[in-house]
């Protein structure tokens, strides 16, 4: 079974979590017979709120259990945890309908646990293979996605607002991704764009998937603590996410 993976990244505050959630809603509604995994790779765990899916524990909680066993010299306990990591990972997953949710958790604690991290990454990749779609809401920068989640991404989505800083960040991320990440297609979504915005003429930027203006419904949704499934179908955020999804999938229909 082919797993189609979407990874969202960009400067903080550009709305990548909202866009990740919007894409997840669209996929779950368009393909009710497909299995979908949402991965929150941002330590802020904002995707959990956007989807209204709170996990009982994060993957980093599992990692820390193993790391603490190593620090205490309890190598037997650490080895046992490693061998059961797949089962612990299942404890981290929340399910609702055809949607499953997994949170990576807070940043790594001090100390080097390279073997532990590499093993858990392998476990995630194995579990991801059981799903038709995987959507990753990543922390700013591609290195974290590559190091802690997976190396092979079908679609890398760079999110920016109209600021020079935002565009510089996605340009830098794409440069890193070209060296570190295998992906079939890369695209840009410009979000929270005000009237008068003109697309930048930058050769290093990939194709633009969508340009989304201010979304009052989404802003109100955030203020009231509602999830993405409460948004009206004509929300600019949802319409923009649908445009981006269509552009990405036009060559690779699931």
Instruction: Tell me, yes or no, whether 91 lies in a domain.
Output: yes
Instruction: Tell me, yes or no, whether 235 lies in a domain.
Output: yes
Confidence of residue 38 (pLDDT cuts 50, 70, 90): very high
Domain of residue 242: give its range.
4-249
Calpha distance 75→136 (Å, rounded): 32
The pLDDT of residue 103: 87
Instruction: Tell me, yes or no, whether 254 lies in a domain.
Output: no
Calpha distance 107→48 (Å, rounded): 17
Write the CATH number for 196: 3.40.50.300
The pLDDT of residue 143: 58
Query: Does the pLDDT at position 202 exceed 50?
Result: yes
Confidence of residue 57 (pLDDT cuts 50, 70, 90): confident
The pLDDT of residue 232: 94
Is the CB of residue 102 less than 8 Å from the CB of residue 39? Answer: yes
Instruction: Tell me, yes or no, whether 98 lies in a domain.
Output: yes
The pLDDT of residue 22: 98
Instruction: Tell me, yes or no, whether 125 lies in a domain.
Output: yes
The pLDDT of residue 80: 65
Number of domains making up the chain: 1
The pLDDT of residue 139: 78
Calpha distance 131→141 (Å, rounded): 25
- What average pLDDT does this structure show over 247-252? 78
C-alpha distance across the termini of the chain, in Å: 10
* pLDDT tens per residue, range 93-140: 999 999 999 888 765 555 444 555 565 577 677 788 899 999 999 876
Planar angle of CA 167, 231, 28, nearest 5 degrees? 85
CB neighbours (10 Å) of residue 94? 16
Calpha distance 125→63 (Å, rounded): 16
* pLDDT tens per residue, range 138-148: 876 665 555 55
* pLDDT tens per residue, range 204-224: 688 999 999 999 999 898 888
Work out the mean pLDDT of the chain and round it to a whole number.
82
The pLDDT of residue 113: 45
Full-model pTM: 0.86
2-16, 87-101, 234-248: range with lowest mean pLDDT: 87-101
Instruction: Tell me, yes or no, whether 10 lies in a domain.
Output: yes
- What average pLDDT does this structure show over 183-212? 87
Query: Does the pLDDT at position 41 exceed 70?
Result: yes
């Amino acid at each position: 079974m082919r797993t189609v993976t979407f990874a969202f990244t960009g400067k903080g505050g550009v709305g990548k979590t909202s866009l990740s959630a919007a894409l997840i809603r669209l996929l779950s509604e368009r393909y009710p017979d497909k299995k979908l995994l949402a991965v929150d790779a941002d330590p802020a765990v904002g995707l959990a709120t956007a989807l209204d899916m709170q996990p009982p524990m994060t993957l980093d909680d599992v990692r820390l259990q193993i790391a603490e066993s190593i620090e205490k010299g309890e190598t037997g306990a650490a080895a046992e945890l490693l061998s059961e990591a797949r089962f612990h990972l299942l404890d981290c997953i929340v399910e609702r309908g055809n949607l499953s949710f997994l949170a990576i958790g807070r940043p790594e604690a001090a100390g080097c646990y390279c073997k532990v991290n590499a093993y858990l990454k392998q476990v995630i990749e194995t579990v991801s293979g059981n799903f038709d779609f995987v959507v990753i809401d990543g922390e700013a920068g591609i290195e974290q996605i590559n190091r802690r989640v997976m190396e092979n991404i079908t679609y890398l989505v760079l999110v920016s607002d109209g600021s020079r800083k935002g565009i510089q960040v996605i340009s830098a991320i794409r440069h890193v991704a070209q060296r570190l990440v295998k992906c079939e297609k890369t695209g840009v979504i410009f979000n929270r764009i005000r009237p008068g915005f003109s697309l930048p003429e930058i050769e290093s930027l990939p194709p633009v998937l969508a340009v989304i203006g201010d979304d009052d419904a989404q802003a109100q949704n955030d203020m009231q603590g509602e999830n993405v499934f409460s948004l009206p179908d004509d929300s600019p955020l949802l319409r923009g996410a649908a445009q981006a999804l269509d552009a990405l999938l036009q060559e690779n229909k699931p």
